[in-house]
Structures are given as structure tokens and as C-alpha cells.
Structure 1
Amino acid sequence: MAATIVEKWRGRNAALAIAAVVIIIGIPLWWKTTETYRAGLPYSEISQLENLQLQLTVAVEVVFSRGTLTPEQQKKVPLTDTHEKEHSVDGKTNLKYRYETKYRTATVMEEDALTMPTPEEADLSLFRLSESPCGSVVVYVIPESSTLLPEGASAYVGKRRTAVLRGGRGRPGGLAAVLEALGPALEQVVQTMSFTHQDITAALTDRVPLGKTNREGRADGMRAFKSSPGYEITFSLLNPDPKSHDLHWDIEGAVKGYIQPLLDKLTPIANFSVDSQILYYAILGVSPRHDASIDGYTLSADSLPHVINPVEARLGSNAASSFPVLNFLLYVPDAPHSPLYIRDHSGKTVPTNAFHSPRWGGIMVFNVQEHYGEEPRFPVHINIDMVRVMGVFLAQLRLLLGIQQVQAPPGFLLQSPGNEGVTDWELDRLLWARTAENIATATTTLTSLAQLLDEIGNIVINDNIAEQVYSAVVSLQLAVAELEAGNLAFAFQASKEAILSSERAFFDPSLLHLLYFPDDQKFAIYIPLFLPMSVPILLSLLKIAGEYRKRRSERVKTD
């Protein structure tokens, strides 16, 4: 009898010990070893990005030359003035434009530069005196009697970050009256050389101008490529009739003389790689129509979208690069369909005989009948005029990279960028837009990633992803701060780092490892393993509980 009681006592204690080990140690250990690892993310800081406020600060320096201020007015300079404007995009992102304007009088050397015979020489001389920082604007005010600007011109914007504005004589009154009279023209100069509200709004809304819903307006807003750390540029010569045309093009020299100077100026924005190829027997996707009035063939504007697809299949460049590819195609028509001209929507012949496709590239048709001679012998040896070709491709490249053609206000003269392909202030305009675009894109990416990870709790968040997210948030905050401080170059680099880090985190392959392994599947896998062990333990616990209740009831009856 005593042995039986001892045996029951041992069995009860063994069952309780096993149950305690399973409940206290086994289940927490199993739960911990099978849980999804999720590194901590700055969710609160990411949520604050939705209410991001951008303040773009432009440093403006106004320099008065001799004869624009009276002696009494000159005593009140130098001085500093700040002007702010506030706008909104879709009622969400507040935009503040702050113009920090400093007024001073010209130095002796600057006065000498302003006496140059032409504004181009004056612009170069002023640039040699001092180089303005990125994003800044320097405006030199000259008297009305100055012969530096041609008659009828009120302002001249050079290749650098300086402009010349025709002012008045030393107006009587206070300096405030002079500045008030100069204000509208000065604001036009600053917006021409920096940015307008439409530029920043288009960058924040995927480059689609607000209020433009027609096809032409939407195409203009979408033709530029989105901001990217690198671009691939491919020049292709299409020779559909090698038996008739022996084509030669000096693409290497043309790129070095026309394209490379532009790419060198754009080095702070992105990395570029350039290659070229010749495609034989490459035909267009549509058949041109014969037009007896011009004794040639034509391609209408409606048929141009169908031209690209058959040719694109032979380019072979899109699959070889992770960066956006800009395609520039030079098409020489075959002899039976020459000459070939492109017509716009109004039916007029396009002067350049070229067209561009938004966010893809451009195509130029190059007719070669003038090389045939009186009695041509095929194949005709043809040296392509690269000056005419690269002039068209350079203009298309500027548009595709987002360097928009500025519409100068009446009376404004804009100096041509020349061989460099882009002026310093045009580069600044591009940097302003790209910085705003990068900030908007990185903010959207981080917000989407945070929402995804918050809704699906089974996605693994590795430490490297958390590092990228933290880096993107810090870079975004730095970009906003640098914009507010007026440091455009640093703001762009910070925004570039933000978009790179955010996209590396968003597209990390490790985020998909346990995407389709939720908790219910985990229980379905482990229950068949734990159930055979759990049933005896559970039954033992139930038996022990029953015996305990039975003894307790007997004790109550005895009492």
C-alpha cells in the first residue's frame, strides 16, 4: 500500500515537472526560435515625412553700378532683405520660397568689366573676378544710358550665374523706392535663373504639370527621364539598305565634340556611359506614304509611335543595363523610299526631320539623295554630316535629361550655352528640380515600405535594411536642411543618397523570404510534431487535477 502511494506520488511529480519544463522553457524557446527577425525602424520619423515642409532658399546678390544710385542712397548699402512665398502641392506638401537678397555697390574691377563692348565679354570678365556658388544668382544693375545691352533689351542672362539688368538713373527719394521699382524685373531674373513654382510642382508630382490634362501638355511633362544615379546613352545608325548605301559616321569624334562637354557639366548629377552601334537591314515599323507634291515620302505624326517598337527589338541595350537607356537613332532611308520627311500634326514638314519619344530617346531621318550624283554607282559611299546630326541629338538629350528650354520674358536676352551644352544657371535649375524630385520619391518609397512592413508582420527586417532606412531618413532630413540653408549642391547630394538608400531597402530580396509564411502555417507545421507529446502531458495534468479535486472534496466532507 505504501509502495503504491509512493509510486503515484513519483508519477504525479514527474508529470508536473515535465509540464513545467514544456510550459516554462519549451514553449517560449520554440516561439523565440521560430519568430521572424525584425530590426527596429524609425516609424515615427517616417510618418513625419508625410507632412514634410520644403523651404527653398535662393541667395541673391544685387550689385549697383555707377550711376544707378544717388550719393544719399549709396550710403544705405550694403543691406540685406528677405522675401518669402508659400505655396502648396495637392494640399499636402507646403512649399516656401525664400529669397535672401544682399545689396551692395560694384567694385572698381566690376565697373571695368561692365564697360566691356559686349555683354558676353562682360559676363566672362565678371566670372573671372569671382565664381558664384551653386544655386546663387548675382544681378548687376546698370544705368539706362549704358551701351552694354542692345537697344530694347532690359536684361541679359549670361552662361554663368550672373545677369545684367538695366535699371534707372539715380532716382530721387529713398532707397526703398528704388528697390520697389526694381522688384518685378529682379524677380523675373531670379526665376529665370533658378526655378519657378511650376518647376518644383512638376518635380513633386512626377513631372506632370498641374492643370494640364491634354495630350500635348502631358507629353511635355513626362518626356524627361526620372532622376537616376546613372544613364546609358546609345547612338545607333540604321542602314536598311547596305547594298545601296555605304555609310560612314565619325560618332566618336562627334560625341567628344558635342556630347561629352554636356556630360562633363552633368557629372555631379549622374554617371553617364556612351556607346554606339550600326544596325543593318533595320527597317521602320510603318510604310511611308508617297507624296507627289514633294516628290518624296512622308511619315505622319500619328504613325510615329509605331516606328519605335520594331526597331527597339534590335537595339539590345535595355536588358544589358539597370540604368535608364537613352536611345538616339539615325535612320537613313533605303533608296526606294527616299527622300523621307516627317510631318507634324498640322501636316507641315518638321525642319529637323526628327522626333523624340518621352523617356525613351529620339530618331532622326537623314536623307542622302544629294550624294548620288548624276549616275550613281551603288553602293554609294556617304559620309554623314555629324554637325547637323549632333545638333539635333544634343537638343533632344537636353529635353530628355530635364533641361527645359526657358521662355525668356520680353526684353530678356539669354546667352547660348555654346559647346558646353548647358549654362551654369540651367544646371542649377535642373538641380533644384532633381532635388525636389528625389526628396518626394524617397519620401514615398520610405512611407510605402513602412506601411508594408507594418501590415505584414512576417516579413524579415534584417539589420542591413534597417541601416539603409535610417540612412535614407537622415539623408532626407539633411537634404531638407541644406535646401533651407540655400546649399543647393549639398542638398542634391543628400537627396541622391536618400533615394539610393530607400530604394536599396525597398527592393532588398530578403524582404520576400517569409512573405508567404504566416503564423497559421507555422502552427500547421509544428502541431503534428507537438501533438503526440502534448496529449500524454495534458491527460496527466487532467488526471492530477481530478485527483486533487477528489481529495479536496473528501477533506471537506470529513471536516
Structure 2
Amino acid sequence: MAITLYNDKVARRRVPILLSVCCVFLIGLPLWWKATEVYRADLPADAIRAWAASKAVLRYPVDVYIEFPPSAGQSLEDNGQVVTALNEALAHARSNVEPAESSDAVGASLPVRFDVHARLLNPEAKPPAGAPVVRIRYDPDLIDRPWVHIRADQRLDLVVARPPAAATPSVIGPLTEVITRLYRAQERFANDRTSNGERPHPAARRAVRHTRDYQLTFSLFYEEASAAARTPDWDIEAALATHVRPFLRHVAPLFNFTLDSQVQAFSSLPIQPARDPRGTDSDTSARHTLRAGDLPHFINAQDWNLESTETTRPLLNFILYVPAPSRTPLEIVTADGHPLPSNAFLLPRWGGVCIWNRPPTGPPTISDTATITTASALDVAALHQPFVTFVTQLRNLLGVPDWSREVIQPLGQVFEVAVESRLAGSSLTTWEFQLLVAKRSTENVAEAATTLQSLLNLVDSIPNMVVLDRIESKVTRALDHLRRFEEELDGRRYVTAYAHAAEALSQAESAFFDPTMLALLYFPDNHKFGVYMPLFVPAFLPVLMAILKEVKRRRNLRAAAKTKAE
């Protein structure tokens, strides 16, 4: 009897205890949930998706100014009618070659389309700075196809036969053809595709990743100390001022550069150049050669001082290498054994190398076809050819289009083309700069949109990721810069538009790589179970066992009462 009374007493106490524990959990669970809740600012998801969805193709408006000769006998009204008809012809030509549009174009790349509009240039006015100009010239003796003259003042001359009447639109066909071909070629380059669209443009594989700041290091390396003693110094400041800085001034709206230089002796090669078979062991003047397969192994990264302490700026190296007298001349040769005129090569996304040979007697030479003046030091005249080569290599590394090769050559299929030398000291034409701005702006816009979309997907995939107000602010600023990019682009203010595109990318990347965003990337859900199970399982098991016992006891009581009633 005593045992039965004790069991009944324990059973009666079990129910209040279980109810108390359940109340604690019911009250504590919401408090715990609220206490562990992370703050998530509202990102403008709809604006991000709407902007990405609206950008299947980036339309880049371009105004091309048409200049007619004042002595052609045509009035300003006649010329205006020609320009109006030209715009209609350009619109018809564009409609026949629409680029492929897809809803997911913003992702890997953003296709570019140049919307070209012709404008009449008043003879008494000047075109806006940097605007492309096509000047019409009439030649009454021209009986063959029209020809195009690329002038040193960065204008394009289109020479056609003189029309028999002032209002005759015989110039419209050649004008439409030259402008259409020019900008189709530029679109192919801007979209990093070859003419058949099957593989990336070679320039895209050579260029470094776009950023605002770069460090340029110019190095003079001697293989032996004796060579350094014969030419102890180089006039690097004068060479930079003559060849490099004019180019840097042209691209200053897009890039910032830090320049430094160094001279180093005992810079041995990690490879053994081949001795020319035409030489003999006793012939010290026999040339030594490097072939294409040797060039990737030319740099002695272990012994040459080519590292930079600057971690935020990509480093581009330009090396002027002086071989030992026993290896002079050292030449880079083609597959058929002919020396390269520049005796230089480019290392994609790293820098460039130029080999300078100084024979025991006579003037030093870059190669058999390029002679450098004799000097006790490498003065600016001696450094002319190497630094012309370095500027060409820098253009390739920055992704600057060679407008003469990439764009003018397609004109040769229809026109006779003549290219005049560039202005002295100029390393970038207006057409090249415009195309570079368009290409870099497009890359920045595409990467900014992709980064914002990736950020949105990341936040949606990790519900407990902290999203602070500063993240929302950065995303909002990135979208605002994208909007202002479009406004400036519509206003033909290309450099300002580029600045907004670059800032949009900077804000988007700053938001995506914020330390508070990255913290949970390496804390998956299974880690949560590993943390909480040791805390909650020991507490839940006794409560669960007590609930099961109480349920079993009540079933037994009901069964006993039913048996007694029967």
C-alpha cells in the first residue's frame, strides 16, 4: 500500500513538472530565437534584377562629324540633306546586323553596340574634343574605287569622285560603307571576339585585368659585370619623358601609374641560348639565338629583383637585357631562323623584354636592322628603339586597340587605304581612345552588374547572413553610379561615364567582399548542428522520457478503470 501511495504521489508531481518545463521552452524558445536573430538590411533586389534584365545589349551612342570641303559648290542646306540621308542609311544598315540579344547577357559579358549618328560640321565651328571627324574630299580625276586616308591629325579623309551636281548623293554610299565597317570592326574588338565570333580576341588574352592603378618598373639587367662597366648608366628619365609619359598623359583619364626603375648586374639567364650553326667554337662573333619555346623561360624570377612591395597595384615589368660579350649578339629568331626586328617579346599580363646587343667594337645594335648610337651611357637616342617597343608592349598589356590594324584593315576590302604617321609624341589616336573607353566602361558595367547579382544570390542562399546598413548603402551607391553612367553616356560624356562605371564596380565589390559578408561563407548548416546538439539533446532526453512515462501511466489508469467498470 505504501508503494502505491508513493507512486501516486510521484505521478501527481510529474505533471506539474512537465508543464513547467514545457512553459519554460514555450517562453524561452521565442526569446532565444529573437536573441539569436541577425540583422538584415533590405537590399534593393528589384532594382538589381530590373537593371540586369534591361541590359541585354549596351548601346554606345557615337556622334561622327561630317566635314564637307568649302569649295565644293554645295550649300549648307545641301550638305545637311546629305547628312540626313546618311543617317537614314546608317539606321538601315544597323537594322540588318542586329547583335544577338539574350536575357542573361549580363553575367559573363555585356555585348556592345555602337549607335552611330552623323552630324554636319559647320565650316566655321570646331568639333567637340575627341569627337571623330570624317572629312569629304572630291577628286575629279578619281575613276577607281574611293580611298580612305587616315591623317596624322586623327581625322579620316574619304576621297570620292566629284558629284556631277551639287545635290547628287553619290557620297552617301561610300560614307555609309566606311562608317559601318569602322564601327562593326570596333564592336568585334570591344566584344573580345574575332571576325567569326568563335574565340576570344588575342588582345584579351594579353591584357591585364582592368583596374585604376598600375605600377610600371623599368629594369636594366646586365648578364655580366663587365658589360655594366662599359655602359654604367642609362638616361631613364629622358627616355620616360620622351616616349612613355606622352602615352600616359593620353590615358590619364582612365589609369593612374607609378613609375620606378632599377639597374642590376650579374643577371644570368635560366636557359642556355642556342649557338648559331653557322658559327664555330672559335668564332666569338657567332650569334646566339632564342626561339619561341625559350621565351617563357627567359625570366630568372629567383635571382632577378622583380617583386614589388606594393600589394594593391598590379605590377608590369619592362626589362632591357644586355647579354654578356660571349653571348653577343643574342637574337630572337622566328621559326625559319630570321631575327625579329625589335628583338623583343611580350609576356602576357606580366610585361615585356627587349634584348640590347653591344658588340665589342662599333655601335651597339638592337638587331641587324636597327642601329643605336655609340655612347658611354645609354642616352635618350640610344634608348629610342627599346622604349618605342616598351610603349607598344604597354599598349597591348592595357588592352589598347591598334586601330590601324584592328579597324582600318577591314576597310581595305572596299577602299584604297592610306595611313599617315601619327603626330610626334602621340601614342594614342582619338579613335583608339574612344574604343578603349567604350571597352573598359563595358567591362566595368558588366562586372558591377554581375557582382550585385551574385551578392543578391548569396544573401538569399544564407538566411542567417548579417547584412548591415553599410552593405545596403554600397549597393545603393553602385546602382546610382550605374544610372548616372547611362545618363553621361547618353550625353556623349564618355570619360565621365567611364568614371561612374568604375565607381559602380568599386562599390559593388566593396559590398560583396565586406568582412561581415564573408564570415558565414565557411560556416555551413551542419556546423550549427554540431554546436547546438551537445547543448539541447541532454536537456531534451529526460523531458522526453518523463512525457513517455506519463503517457504510459495514464493509459494504464484508463485500462484499469475500464476493467473495474466491467
Whether TM-score is above 0.5 comes out as yes
* Cα distance in structure 1, aligned partners of 2:21 and 2:122: 91
Q: Which residue of 1 aligns with 2:43?
A: 41
Work out which of the residue numbers 149, 152, 166 in structure 2 matches 1:155.
149
- Structure 2 gaps of 5+ residues are 1-7, 106-110, 280-284, 364-374
Q: Secondary structure at the match of 1:515?
A: helix
Alignment-derived partner of residue 229 in structure 1:
212
- Give 2:452's aligned residue: 446
CA–CA distance in 1 between the matches of 2:30 and 2:73? 83
Alignment of 1:326 onto 2:319: no
Q: 1:518 to 1:33 in 2, by over 3 A?
A: farther
Query: How far 1:335 sits from its partner (Å)?
Result: 1.6
Distance 1:15 1:428 in 2: 78
SS at match of 1:99: strand
The yes-or-no answer on 1:20 pairing with 2:19 is no
Specify whether residues 441 and 347 from structure 1 end up closer, same or farther in structure 2 by C-alpha distance, changes over 3 A only.
Answer: farther
- Whether 2:502 is the aligned partner of 1:496: answer yes
2:339 to 325, 336, 349: 349
1:56·1:96 contact (CA, 8 Å) conserved in 2?
yes
Question: Distance between the aligned counterparts of 1:481 and 1:313, measured in 2?
Answer: 51
Partner of 1:377: none
Report the CA distance between 1:524 and its aligned residue: 3.2
CA distance in 2, matches of 1:44, 1:522: 31
Return the letter of the residue paired with 2:28: G
Residue 300 of structure 1: how far off its partner (Å): 1.4
Given that 1:78 and 1:103 are in contact with CA atoms closer than 8 Å, whether structure 2 keeps it comes out as yes
Shift of 1:440: 2.6
Aligned-pair distance for 1:263?
A: 1.1
Go from structure 1 to structure 2 and tell me whether the alpha carbon gap of 1:371 and 1:383 turns closer, same or farther (over 3 Å shift): farther
CA separation of 1:486 and 1:381: change in aligned 2, threshold 3 A: closer
Quickly say closer, same or farther: Cα 1:489–1:312, change in 2 above 3 A.
farther
Select 2:183's aligned residue among 180, 183, 191: 191
Match of 1:300 in 2: 291
Q: How far did 1:279 drift?
A: 2.1
Residue 275 (structure 1) aligned to one of 260, 284, 288: 260
Tell whether 2:144 aligns with 1:140. no
More displaced, 97-106 or 548-557?
548-557
1:287 maps to amino acid: Q
| Distance in 1 (alpha carbons) for counterparts of 2:553 and 2:164 | 110
1:248 and 1:143 map into 2 onto residues whose CA distance is 54
1:338 matched to 2:323? The reply is no
| TM-fit CA distance, 1:318 | 4.8
One-letter code aligned to 1:326: L
Evaluate the alpha carbon distance shift between residue 41 and residue 548 of structure 1 in structure 2; reply closer, same or farther with a 3 A threshold: farther
The answer on whether the counterparts of 1:55 and 1:97 sit within 8 Å (CA) in structure 2 is: yes
Q: 1:64 touches 1:140 (CA, 8 Å); kept in 2?
A: yes
Deviations 1:463-490 (A, max 9, x none): 4334333333443344345445543223
Query: In the alignment, is the contact (CA less than 8 A) between 2:163 and 2:170 conserved in 1?
Result: no
Structure 1 pair 139–336 and aligned structure 2 pair: CA distance change class (3 A): same
Give the AA of the match of 1:305.
P
- For 2:116, the equivalent position in structure 1 comes to 99
Q: What is the CA–CA distance in structure 1 between the aligned matches of 2:74 and 2:534, rounded to whole Å?
A: 96
Pairing 1:62–2:79 present: no
Corresponding position of 2:369: none
The 2-side partners of 1:478 and 1:268 are apart by: 18
Any gaps of 5 or more consecutive residues in structure 1? 111-128, 374-379
- Residue 332 of structure 1 and its aligned partner are, at CA, apart by 0.3
Q: CA deviation at 1:420?
A: 3.4
Matching of residue 506 in structure 1 with residue 512 in structure 2:
yes
Would the alpha carbon gap of residues 285 and 529 (structure 1) be closer, same or farther in structure 2, given more than 3 Å must change? same
Question: CA–CA distance in 2 between the matches of 1:353 and 1:273?
Answer: 26
CA deviation vs aligned residue, 1:368-410 (integer Å, no higher than 9, x gap)? 115579xxxxxx9543522222122112112221223222343
* Matched ranges for 1:392-403 at <5 A: 392-403=389-400
Given the two structures, how large is their TM-score scaled by the length of structure 2? 0.77
Against the structure 1 CA distance between its residues 551 and 480, is the aligned structure 2 distance closer, same or farther, given a 3 Å change threshold?
farther
Distance 1:222 1:312 in 2: 25
- Where does residue 4 of structure 2 map in the other structure? none
Q: Distance in 1 between matches of 2:209 and 2:420?
A: 27
The Cα shift of 1:87 comes to 0.9
State the alpha-carbon separation in 1 of the partners of residues 165 and 158 from structure 2.
Answer: 20
2:251 equivalent in structure 1 = 266
What secondary structure is seen at the aligned counterpart in 1 of 2:78?
Answer: helix
Aligned-pair RMSD on alpha carbons?
Answer: 4.1
| Deviation, structure 1 residue 47 | 4.2
Question: Contact conserved, 1:78 with 1:105, CA < 8 A, in 2?
Answer: no
- How far apart are residue 166 of structure 1 and its match? 2.8
CA shift in 2, pair 1:371/1:415, >3 Å: same
Q: 354, 369, 392: which is aligned to 2:359?
A: 369
SS of corresponding position for 2:298: helix
CA-CA distance at 1:241 after TM superposition: 0.6
**C-alpha distance in 2 between matches for 1:520 and 1:235:** 52
Cα 1:73/1:27, change in 2 over 3 Å = same
Number of paired residues? 515
Shift of residue 272 of structure 1?
A: 0.7
8 Å Cα contact 1:200/1:433 also seen in 2: yes
Corresponding position of 2:371: none
Q: In the superposition, relative to structure 1, how do residues 534 and 302 fare at CA in structure 2: closer, same or farther (>3 Å)?
A: closer
When normalised by structure 1's length, the TM-score is: 0.78
Q: Which residue number in structure 2 is paired with residue 172 of structure 1?
A: 165
Partner amino acid, structure 2, of 1:73: D
The CA distance in 2 between the partners of 1:346 and 1:212, in whole Å, is 29
- Aligned CA distance change for structure 1 residues 146 and 510 (closer, same or farther; 3 Å): farther
